[in-house]
Amino acid sequence: MSDLPTRRAGRLRKPSWRDTRLLAGVLLVLVSAVLGAVLVARADDRVPVYAASVALVPGQRLDDAAVRRVEVQLGDGMARYLPADEALPEGSYVLRDVRPGELVPRSALGSVADVSVQPVTIDVDATSASTLVRGSVVDVYVTPPKPGSTTEFDKPVRALSGVSVASEPEERTGFGASGTDTVAVSVMAPQEQVAGIVAHLGDRSRITVVPVPGSRTKAAS
Determine the pLDDT at residue 104: 96
Radius of gyration over every alpha carbon of the chain, rounded to an integer in angstroms: 33
Per DSSP (E only), the strands in the chain are: 47-52, 67-72, 93-94, 109-110, 117-125, 137-143, 157-165, 170-175, 181-190, 206-211
Determine the pLDDT at residue 109: 96
pTM: 0.71
| N-to-C CA span, the chain | 97
Determine the pLDDT at residue 39: 64
Determine the pLDDT at residue 127: 87
Determine the pLDDT at residue 173: 46
Determine the pLDDT at residue 5: 58
Helices and strands in the chain: count of H runs, count of E runs: 2, 10
Greatest alpha-carbon span in the chain: 138
Residues of the chain with pLDDT under 70: 1-26, 36-44, 171-180, 220-221
Determine the pLDDT at residue 137: 95
159-203 pLDDT, tens digit each:
999 999 998 887 654 444 445 688 999 999 999 999 999 888 877
Domain spanning 20-115 has what CATH number? 3.90.1210.10
From CA 52, how far away is CA 68, in angstroms rounded? Answer: 6
Determine the pLDDT at residue 99: 93
Q: Where are the domains of the chain?
A: 20-115, 116-211
